[in-house]
Amino acid sequence: MDYYKDLSVTKTFGQINEFDCQAMMFCFKTRFKVFKKGESILKQGESIEDVVMIVRGSAIVENVDQMGNISVVMRLGAGEVYGLEATYVGDEVNKDSVIATEKTTVMFMNKYRLIYPCQNKCKRHDIVIRNLMQMVAERNVELMNKLTHMSKKSTRDKLLSYFTLMAKRANSNYFEIPFNKTELANYLSVDRSAMSTELAKMRDEGLIDFDKNEYRLNLDFLNKNK
Amino acid sequence: MDYYKDLSVTKTFGQINEFDCQAMMFCFKTRFKVFKKGESILKQGESIEDVVMIVRGSAIVENVDQMGNISVVMRLGAGEVYGLEATYVGDEVNKDSVIATEKTTVMFMNKYRLIYPCQNKCKRHDIVIRNLMQMVAERNVELMNKLTHMSKKSTRDKLLSYFTLMAKRANSNYFEIPFNKTELANYLSVDRSAMSTELAKMRDEGLIDFDKNEYRLNLDFLNKNK
DNA sequence: GAAAATGTGTTGTTTTTACAACAAAACGAG
DNA sequence: CTCGTTTTGTTGTAAAAACAACACATTTTC
């Protein structure tokens, strides 16, 4: 396979040469699969066999409760893994579904091989462990950020909390977000139509502007009125 | 110091003998401090110098936004650490405050010494790294659970989501929670008085019962009416 | 390129929550 | 034990969000 080009730019395998990477692929019993847009990479409730990594493309982690409410937990981009934390805490079934948002290549890795140190020749396993640790820490921060947005009382404040972070990340008050409107509503746990109304109101007030998934945040306005 | 008794039962240092533990204490430049109830162990906005571990007692992690809204992020019990993820991602200031909820002994550890492998004699450092990884993974699951509660639309569903998890954890429909009513409201991001009203309503309907921080969840009733 | 599916914006109505203000209860320190 | 502080419960009102139903736009698929 020539997936090494993709793997070499991931956080997990980036610092590892192609030869060692190959050895590790073997050790982790990796297999690759390509998913079409909308296909489920993992299904909520199914037993966990592997840790998955997005090699190319992207996916959304979502949770559907008994009442049918959809909650978007996060988005996974290239290089990101899912299923690691569950493996560490010993969960046996997926708590969420992972759904491809475009044509997406996924690498499946044996969950046990990944987290236990091995006696094999893949001598870079320690580096991978370190990298995974880093990624779990980053995910933690990501979840804390989501909590910060969701803890806001009003839809407007939730949106502003999210937009402010995205602007900071982009280092610009003009930025693109990885969600469409429906997904954003499910990410922030607000009603989509109510959110749509609120966004329109914010635009009328000159606070923000947007087109598709691109947004502009008028920070001057924000600071003036606080 | 005779803190070893306390440390020996923590996830981080539990598998390590007293001698190695002592060596590591030195390596991590640990220092101990006792806080009274209500005192701040870490303050939001202050620069991060150390990773802290609750040795004895407990604390609450909370965040106050510009409008003065208090959000309880999580509760820390004995053996739990705070500041690790921030160190991994390179944050320089505390995003939250950590406040002792009772008389609490805290161990401060040099953040760099903790996460970088060292050349010293503390040969159990690798075990500590592994244990920390486990704890960060567990914290992620904890945060995901909180997100699940908070993503529910109504106060009642938020409460039920939380209570159901606590009952599952306790393996009983009778359980104690680590929050008082005010803290619980701030944890779930709902108005305290509205929550109080909703709890009373749920009690009237026979769905739950409670006294102080102890709750009983009537699951039969729950299943019957869904 | 047409049809189907998905995504988005708008409106009015209903339900829920936040807010404010207060009283009662529990707790804690001296 | 007592006073001050914190926690909890209650109520009415105002504000906000959820919901439902729809039209229109956009995207996907064959």
Give the integer Cα–Cα distance in Å for B85 and B88: 5
User: In 3D, which of A125, A215, A220, A110 has the Cα closest to residue A170?
Assistant: A215
Residue A57 has pLDDT above 80, yes or no: yes
Please report the DSSP string for B173-220 in residue order: SEEE-S--HHHHHHHHT--HHHHHHHHHHHHHTTSEEEETTEEEE-HH
Q: Out of B132, B143, B153, whose CB is closest to A147?
A: B143
pLDDT in tens, B25-81: 888 899 999 999 999 999 999 999 999 999 999 999 999 998 889 999 999 999 999
pLDDT at B220 (0 to 100): 66
Residues 164-203 of A with CB under 7 A from strand D: 189-191, 193-195, 198
Count other Cβ atoms within 10 Å, centred on residue B49: 12
Cα B189 from Cα B166, distance rounded (Å): 18
- What is the pLDDT confidence band of residue A6, given thresholds at 50, 70 and 90? confident
| Shortest-distance nucleotide from B152 CA to C1' | D18
Phi, psi (degrees; rounded to nearest 5) at B10: -85, 160
Asked if B213 and B220 touch (Cβ cutoff 8 Å), the reply is: no
The answer on pLDDT for B9 being more than 50 is yes
Q: Is the pLDDT of residue B100 over 70?
A: yes
Strand D bases with any atom < 7 A from protein Cβ: 7-12, 16-21, 27-29
User: And the tokens for B79?
Assistant: 């053996």
The answer to whether the CB of B123 falls within 8 A of the CB of B20 is: yes
Q: Average the pLDDT over each of A31-40, A85-94, B18-27, B147-156 and give the range with the smallest value.
A: B18-27
Q: State whether residue B166 is helix, strand or coil.
A: helix
Q: Does A39 touch chain B (CB under 8 A)?
A: no
| Per-state percent for chain B, helix, strand, coil, to nearest 5 | 40, 25, 35
> Tell me, what's the pLDDT at A226?
44
Report how far apart the first and last C-alpha atoms of chain B are (Å, whole number). 55
Distance (Å, whole) CA B4 – CA B55: 10
Give the model confidence (pLDDT) of B104-150 as tens digits. 999 999 998 887 777 665 667 778 888 888 999 999 999 999 999 99
Identify the bridge partners of residue A98 per DSSP, sorted by sequence position.
A42, A61
Segment B149-166, tens digit of pLDDT: 999 999 999 999 999 999
Q: How far apart are CA B100 and CA B60, in angstroms?
A: 6
Which chain A residues contact residue B153 at CB under 8 A? 69, 189
pLDDT of residue B8: 79
Q: Where are the alpha helices (DSSP H) in B18-123?
A: 18-27, 84-89, 111-115
Please determine, for residue A219, whether its predicted confidence score (pLDDT) is greater than 80: no
Neighbours of B55 (CB within 10 A): 20
Distance A129 CA to D4 C1' (A): 55
A135-149 average pLDDT score: 96
> What is the phi/psi pair of residue A134, to 5°?
-60, -45
B25 or A199, higher pLDDT: A199
Integer CA distances (angstroms), A81 to A123, A184, B138, in order: 21, 21, 16
Mean of pLDDT values over A164-192: 97
pLDDT of residue A118 exceeding 80? no
* Closest alpha carbon to B183 in B74, B80, B81, B44: B74
**Beta partners for residue B74, in sequence order:** B61
Q: Do A141 and B89 make contact, defined as CB atoms within 8 angstroms?
A: yes
In degrees and rounded to multiples of 5, residue A82 shows phi and psi of -135, 135
Interface of A with B in 96-125 (CB under 8 A): none
Report the C-alpha gap between A41 and A52 in whole angstroms: 9
User: Who has greater pLDDT, A128 or B209?
Assistant: B209
Predicted TM-score of the model (pTM): 0.94
Distance between A78 CA and the closest CA of chain B, angstroms: 19
**Cβ pair A143:B141 closer than 8 A:** no
Asked if A65 is an interface residue toward chain B (Cβ–Cβ < 8 A), one would say yes
